[in-house]
Structure 1
Amino acid sequence: MVGAGLAGLRASTALRERGFDGDLTLVGEEPHGPYDRPVLSKEVLTGDRSVTDTALPVPPGLEARWLLGRRALALDRTGRRLRLSDGTVLDYDGLVIATGATARPWSGPGAVPESGIHVLRGRGDALELRRALVEGGPLLVVGSGFLGSEVASAARALDVPVTLVGSARHPMERAVGPVVGSVLAGVQQAAGVDLRLGTTVTRFLGQRSIRGAVLSDGSRVGARTVLLALGARPSTGWLRGSGLRLREGASGGVVRDRRGRALAVGGGPVPDVVVLGDASAAPNPLPLDGTPAHLDIGHWSEAVDHADTVAAALLGQEDPGDAPVPSFWSDQFGMRIRSVGLPQLGDLTRVHEHDPERHRLEVSYHRGRRVVGALTVNRTSRLAAHRERISREWRRSAQARSPDRADLPPR
């Protein structure tokens, strides 16, 4: 098991529940066991929870060997060997790749000051950013996606001045589209966030410590702290040369089939290697015109919902076929944002309810005549019907592509 986070823990648990009684080893790059990442950008930053509260419980009887503080360096598929950063070489009969993702570093123009620049991916990152916010602002958030918006919300809860810079026209537009993004923009502005959208950072100010930034529209913003919320990239670089297929060349997730089996370069599934979580590129369950064949989903549900599926595949057992459609959530600015399906595939958004005073919203996403996703704000109970409709669409799509019901997408 390469990866000792949520995905690795869930896959290990599923293997034991399915009767695997052999040796089980979990390799983790971080020095501590699995923990809950989503709360890092929310309750941990606001101080409502400590990082120690984020630890995930390890089921009794897991009987696993934990090799923490070490990372995988290379995979020898022919010899079934894994080489670690401390020189350890591990033999395996079956391999689970659950190495997650890392924060994208700054790749824009100009140098980055020595201090005051943060990313947020792990527990240590959250602690450092929390300390910086407690010391006061202003905070500059570079990136207007989920993470940037959540951190902006946490900072405003601490009464820290926030400027949020993003190249898109609306916050979280890539994930939720312009209709929902415009609603979120209004909420953020009402909360006191200085939105600078449709612009980018061209230069940071300060050499040793950050003082601010120059934007592409020529304006300047001051900052004592900067969060780079530029997205994440799958931690799969160690697999270069292994013969496994990576999406987008050598920088994407491991391309997998519907059961989680890794695909070989130029070939089919590798029976003794499975992948799940942020390190994987999942097959598109609704491959309509103009949509990619595989997707880096990157949500918590990808790690949880497919654990039993990959365990069954690795053990050569029947596909359980009961994993739900993808889902994601975000709590920010007093809003409970919940979504199912794949809204990013939609080219039409239909608004079913919009109550600005109560911050309530219900929308569905469509491509052609097919529904591909749905999202609610403070209307979570409305999602069940959308989830079932999306599931039916995906089953019909699978049946149209192949008469073999064993090849159906997750339900």
Structure 2
Amino acid sequence: MEHLVIVGASLAGVRAAEAARSEGFAGAITLVGDEIHLPYDRPSLSKEFLEPEGDTEPIYLSSDESLRDLDITLALGETAIRLETIRQVVVTNHGEYNYSSMVIATGSSPIMIPGAENLDGVHVVRTLEDSRAVRSALDRGGDVVVIGGGFIGAEVASAARKRGLTVSIVEAAEVPLVRAVGADMGASLSSLHAKFGTELLCGTGVVGFEGAGHVEAVALSDGRRIPADLVVVGVGSRPATGWLVDSGLELDNGVVCDEHLRTSVPNVYAAGDVASWHNPLFERRMRIEHFMAAAEQGARAARNAVTPGLSQPYVTVPYFWSDWYGSRIQFVGVTTEDYEVVSGSLGEEHFVVLFRSGNGVVGALTLNGQRHIMKYRRMIEQKKSYAEALDFAASRRAAAVFG
């Protein structure tokens, strides 16, 4: 009997299982996950979940009943420890699963700074337990230090400031978000912190933590000491590929895949944060750690896995969003050094920035530009010219003036 094994019971894994059934796959499906919870939404853990009035229950991606109705076997609380591709077996801490095809969707793991192993009060935000601990600490109050000026760190800082807490963000780079949106955009977005009372300390690193049992302060490389009752580490993540080291799969900043999400080993596909795949739209390899990509990749990988003769490439325009201090940041595509502000102004409450490559539009960044962003995403997907994107921007400005 055919058996699809999916390792990773988060968004990519759940959508993979559902897509296999919708494709008509009649074999067995096993969804392996190392957490005991039913699959739940992760992006909300650093957003709505941490808000003072936010819901304390996770957003589940599917119910136990729905998964049973699809005849999907859940193997929760099991950690994959080895993949034997010759035998076509996934080995977990509880046993083995033979597969005829499989999807790797193990995601990524947050990077923790050494020195905090025996201290309470130092957290990352990745799992439901992580977010519950951070929310409880925020509700208790005190001084908050966020290490890392990226999107998750900014979301935590925003939630803390809404409670009136003292917040400091420590960022090793001179400008936050350089790799994500470039230096100019990173500086503009990060100016929100000062407007809402968050201290941003750039160009300095963390050399240690102080405290007896519970964190009391963070020591910086420039000699400063920042008092802390809660420390949240948001310095990035690594693809969860440690269990695949001896599998024979090609690994390079994730599981290397072609445009069909096929790995270097027959019958094995990858999706979500762990997948490093060739995106034909931009003719480059990408690894995207965002909600929409995980959902789409999971579904495409499973369909390709169970119907390889009908395999289709996964092509997408990357999209992500982040909420800071009541404002929404959205980005589509890729950045370049050739950009133009086509609506509003950097540093104001609203702006739209377009990124250009040659004669084409390849990216767009908005602050409070929800009515604009998806139109630009479609234009990038359709390989519209930069001139067409400028025309659309002009029409939006005219509508705002005369509408």
Query: TM range, normalised to the smaller chain?
Result: 0.7 to 0.9
8 Å CA contact 1:149, 1:171 repeated in 2: no
- Summarize the alignment of residues 72-151 of structure 1 with structure 2, pairs less than 5 Å apart: 72-86=80-94, 88-107=95-114, 114-151=119-156
Rounded to whole Å, the distance in 2 between the matches of 1:163 and 1:9 is 37
1:299 aligns with 2:304: no
8 Å CA contact 2:189, 2:347 repeated in 1: no
Q: 1:394–1:303: structure 2 CA closer, same or farther, 3 Å change rule?
A: farther
Q: Alpha carbon RMSD of aligned pairs, Å?
A: 2.2
* CA distances 1:212-232 after superposition (whole Å, capped 9, x unpaired): 122222222111111111111
Residue 295 of structure 1 and its aligned partner are, at CA, apart by 2.4
8 Å CA contact 2:167, 2:199 repeated in 1: yes
Residue 333 of structure 1 and its aligned partner are, at CA, apart by 1.1
How many residue pairs get aligned? The number is 376
Rounded to whole Å, the distance in 1 between the matches of 2:183 and 2:51 is 28
**Structure 2 counterpart of 1:274, one-letter code:** Y
- Gaps spanning 5+ residues in structure 2: where? 1-5, 386-403
Q: Which residue of 1 aligns with 2:262?
A: 261
8 Å CA contact 1:257, 1:282 repeated in 2: yes
**Structure 1 counterpart of 2:317, one-letter code:** V
Q: Which runs of 4+ in 1 moved over 6 A?
A: none
**Structure 1 counterpart of 2:271, one-letter code:** L
Residue 131 of structure 1 and its aligned partner are, at CA, apart by 0.9
Rounded to whole Å, the distance in 2 between the matches of 1:308 and 1:116 is 38
Rounded to whole Å, the distance in 2 between the matches of 1:111 and 1:357 is 36
**Structure 2 counterpart of 1:331, one-letter code:** D
1:71 aligns with 2:79: yes
Residue 245 of structure 1 and its aligned partner are, at CA, apart by 0.6
* CA distances 1:99-153 after superposition (whole Å, capped 9, x unpaired): 111111114xx56552111111010000011111111120000000111111111
- Summarize the alignment of residues 12-411 of structure 1 with structure 2, pairs less than 5 Å apart: 12-58=17-63, 59=66, 61-86=69-94, 88-107=95-114, 114-247=119-252, 252-263=253-264, 270-285=265-280, 293-314=284-305, 315-320=307-312, 324-343=316-335, 346-355=336-345, 359-393=349-383
Q: Percent identity?
A: 37
- Gaps spanning 5+ residues in structure 1: where? 264-269, 396-411
Residue 236 of structure 1 and its aligned partner are, at CA, apart by 1.0
Q: 1:21–1:171: structure 2 CA closer, same or farther, 3 Å change rule?
A: same
Q: Which residue of 2 aligns with 1:403?
A: none
8 Å CA contact 1:258, 1:282 repeated in 2: yes
**Structure 1 counterpart of 2:299, one-letter code:** D
* CA distances 1:258-290 after superposition (whole Å, capped 9, x unpaired): 111112xxxxxx3411100011112244667xx
Q: 1:100–1:51: structure 2 CA closer, same or farther, 3 Å change rule?
A: farther
Rounded to whole Å, the distance in 2 between the matches of 1:296 and 1:357 is 30
In the superposition, the TM-score normalised over structure 1's length comes to 0.86
8 Å CA contact 1:305, 1:323 repeated in 2: no
Deviates more, 1:15-24 or 1:368-377: 368-377
Rounded to whole Å, the distance in 2 between the matches of 1:175 and 1:91 is 39
SS of 1:262 mapped into structure 2: coil
Rounded to whole Å, the distance in 2 between the matches of 1:8 and 1:22 is 17
In the superposition, the TM-score normalised over structure 2's length comes to 0.87
